A and B are shown apart, each in its own frame.
Chain A
Amino acid sequence: MPTRRSLFVLAATVALVAAGPVGAQDKSIVVASTTSTQDSGLFGHILPLFKAKTGITVKVVAQGTGQALNTARRGDADVVFVHAREAEEKFIAGGFGVKRYSVMYNDFIIIGPKDDPASIKGSRNVVFALKAIKAKGAPFISRGDNSGTHIAELKLWKDAGIDIKKEAGPWYKSIGQGMGATLNVAAASGAYAMSDRGTWISFKNKADLVIAVDGDKRLFNQYGVILVNPAKHPHVKKELGQQFIDWLISDEGQKAIADYKVNGEQLFWPQRE
């Protein structure tokens, strides 16, 4: 006849076996990334592959780049995966990240109405194009949301010698919204806008918009991945987070990135350093 003590030991053993090793139920990390990366569908493609390999679930919090970095600064993510190198380097210099790894790149494009009021279609010189848009007062829609795309757009205006904050006229509309909304407004307004190619390829409401400018190296959009610094936030899952980074820059991860296609088109090119 089992004693009360032996029944207790049995129950405790069953509970421990059911729970498994400590922490195994929580084999997940939070990655702060951008809406354009999320919307491209890349995560839907690569994260199941990573989970199949490691058992680690990646939960993506998608926001604009600035917001994603702030989320990581607060310690609300284990890894940050964005595309604004200067902001990323500031993030690390501030002690919030451990090390930046280059992962991949895609490119930005300037889209615009097919009747091309600024006469820039086919150009491979984005600085020339932006100067022409401003000179013509051709409508331009900016995301205006502190995203990586917005930050890149502001830099290009600067490269064109234009202080867009001071020199914007009624032709320049900053709408503070994501890429899809920006493209919809550009389609509705017959305006130019800057988009990442991935969102553009997936965008269904192209209406009369076409690619006006692409191929300029200044439009290349590089992505970096950074482990949030456990020295600042001890709760960061540094081993699991580093496993994710190591996988992204491994041959397998880089191939997964290259293999992702939308409508037969590759969206991202692997670029580990």
Chain B
Amino acid sequence: MSMRASVSDLPIVLEEVSFASGGVTILDHISLAFATRAPAVLIGPNGAGKTTLLRLLMGLIAPVRGRVTWGGREDVEPTHRAIVFQRPVMLRRSAAGNIRYALAAAGVPRGERADRADELCALVGLNGLGRRPARKLSGGEQQRLALARALAKEPQILLLDEPTASLDPAATKAIEDVIRSIAARGIKVVMSTHDLGEARRLAGEIVLMHRGRLIENGSADTFFADPRTEEARRFIRGELLV
């Protein structure tokens, strides 16, 4: 892969960030930072605000209070960030065609797109499936294709919203392997999951949210071995946080 831009979008710093919609508070005074390190995994019950937080980190929405900075700057174009939503939309093209489309959008010269598409297919384990219509791929394969598209812009930060939701164990393992290899390339991964096991497998750091609030965050090892808050202890035990 080619060299990334020298200007960094890291660390992402949220200072007393709140977000509301339709009169409902979705994120409530969140102060947090994401820096260059192992994957950060957002966990918490449905409605905790995980997806909204990811959208905020991408810059798709702006906080109603507080501020978000990327590499110390506000209002930064999301050139060096990419997001993959839970149910990615597949273009009516082949798998490789989807990737080439993303490469074109990222400004990769036409003559380089075919080789880059092959590289990305290999990276996400879609070798040999490049010509298949994207909409005919399995759920796990589509998710891997979505990751390949996101990587086309060589992001510094990759945001993933429940990347393995509704996938079978084999497909989940394949996606997790891809996420590990992405993180190993120095890309900061911030992802959400409902699966505590997945959080244990992938997370370098954990962010536990509940009802829009940050409950606890820290290294995954410490979080799972010795959680500080009662809510974290209950969540790890599998209890419902109401």
Interface residues of A (CB under 8 A from B): 173, 175-178, 180-181, 184-185, 187-191, 204-208
Stretch among B28-36, B122-130, B174-182 lining the A interface = B28-36
Instruction: A181-B13, A184-B31, A205-B32 given; name 18 further pairs at CB < 8 Å.
Output: A177-B15, A178-B15, A180-B31, A181-B15, A181-B69, A184-B14, A185-B11, A187-B33, A187-B218, A188-B34, A189-B11, A189-B35, A189-B37, A190-B219, A205-B218, A206-B218, A208-B218, A208-B222
Which B residues have a C-beta under 8 Å from some C-beta of A? 11, 13-15, 31-37, 40, 69, 72, 205, 214, 217-219, 222
The residue among B11, B13, B15, B69 with the most chain A CB atoms within 10 A of its own CB is B11
Specify which chain B residues have a CB less than 8 angstroms from the CB of A175 in the assembled complex.
Answer: 11, 13, 72
Q: Once the chains bind, are B69 and A184 in contact (CB under 8 Å)?
A: no
Q: Considering the chains assembled together, what is the distance between the CA atoms of A175 and B13 in angstroms?
A: 10
Q: Which of B13, B36, B72, B217 contacts A207 (CB 8 A)?
A: B217
Residues of B contacting A: mostly: strand
Closest Cβ–Cβ distance, residue A211 to chain B (whole Å): 16
Return B70 CB to nearest CB of chain A, in Å.
11
Cβ–Cβ < 8 Å partners of A190 in chain B: 37, 219
Contacts A/B (CB < 8 Å), 30 sampled: A175-B11, A175-B72, A176-B72, A177-B13, A177-B15, A177-B69, A178-B15, A181-B31, A181-B33, A184-B13, A184-B33, A185-B11, A187-B33, A187-B218, A188-B11, A188-B34, A188-B35, A189-B11, A189-B37, A190-B219, A204-B31, A205-B32, A205-B214, A205-B217, A205-B218, A206-B218, A207-B222, A208-B218, A208-B219, A208-B222
Asked whether B31 lies within 8 Å of A205 as measured between CB atoms, the reply is yes
Q: Which of B35, B218, B222 lies in contact with A185, CB distance below 8 A?
A: B35
Q: Which residues in A have their C-beta under 8 angstroms from that of B13?
A: 175, 177, 181, 184-185
- The smallest beta-carbon distance between B84 and chain A, in angstroms, is 22
Q: CA–CA, A206 to B216, complex, Å?
A: 9
- Please indicate the chain A residues that have their CB under 8 angstroms from the CB of B36 in the complex: 189
> Bound state CA distance, A185 and B214, in angstroms?
15
Min distance, Cβ A227 to any Cβ of chain B, angstroms: 32
In the complex the two chains form, what is the Cα distance from A113 to B34 in whole Å?
15
**How far is the CB of B30 from the nearest CB of chain A, in Å?**
10
Which residues in B have their C-beta under 8 angstroms from that of A185? 11, 13, 33, 35
A173 to B71, CA, bound (A): 10
Q: How far, in angstroms, from A188 to B57 measured CA to CA in the complex?
A: 15
Contact residues in B for A184 (Cβ distance below 8 Å): 13-14, 31-33
When distances are taken between beta carbons in the complex, the residues of chain B under 8 Å from A204 are: 31, 214
Contacts of B35 in A (CB 8 A): 185, 188-189, 191
User: How long is the Cα–Cα vector from A272 to B15 in the complex, in angstroms?
Assistant: 35
The chain B residue sitting closest to A170, CB to CB, is B36
Q: Whole-angstrom distance between the alpha carbons of A208 and B37 in the complex?
A: 14
A207 touches B205 (CB 8 A): yes
Could you tell me the distance between the alpha carbons of A125 and B218 in the complex, rounded to whole angstroms?
Answer: 28
Contact check, B15 vs A207: say whether CB atoms are below 8 A apart: no
Residue of B nearest to A176 (CB): B72
Could you say which residues of chain A place their CB within 8 Å of the CB of B14?
Answer: 184
Chain A residue numbers with a CB within 8 Å of B222 are: 207-208
* B37 cross-chain contacts in A, Cβ below 8 A: 188-190
Lowest 3 CB-CB distances: which A-B pairs, in order? A207-B218, A184-B33, A189-B35
Q: A13: shortest Cβ distance to chain B, in Å?
A: 47
What are the residues of chain B within 8 A of A176 when measuring CB–CB? Answer: 72
Report B-chain residues with C-beta under 8 Å of the C-beta of A191.
Answer: 35
A188 and B205 contacting across the interface, CB-CB below 8 Å: yes
Q: Across the interface, which residues of B come within 8 angstroms of A205, CB to CB?
A: 31-32, 214, 217-218
- B217 to chain A minimum Cβ distance, whole angstroms, is 6
**Minimal Cβ-Cβ distance residue in B for A189:** B35
B144 → chain A, closest Cβ, in Å? 28
Q: Please give the distance in Å from A176's CB to the nearest CB on chain B.
A: 5
The CA-CA distance from A207 to B221 in the complex, in Å, is: 11
User: Whole-angstrom distance between the alpha carbons of A219 and B15 in the complex?
Assistant: 27
Residue in chain A with minimal CB distance to B33 = A184
Complex interface: chain B residues within 8 A of A206 (CB): 218
Minimum C-beta distance from B73 to chain A (A): 9
| Chain A, residue nearest B34 (CB) | A188
By beta carbon, the residue of chain A nearest B13 is A181
Residue ID in chain A nearest B223 by CB atoms: A207
A184–B218 alpha-carbon span in the complex (Å): 10
Q: A138 CB to closest chain B CB, in angstroms?
A: 14
Minimum C-beta distance from B159 to chain A (A):
15
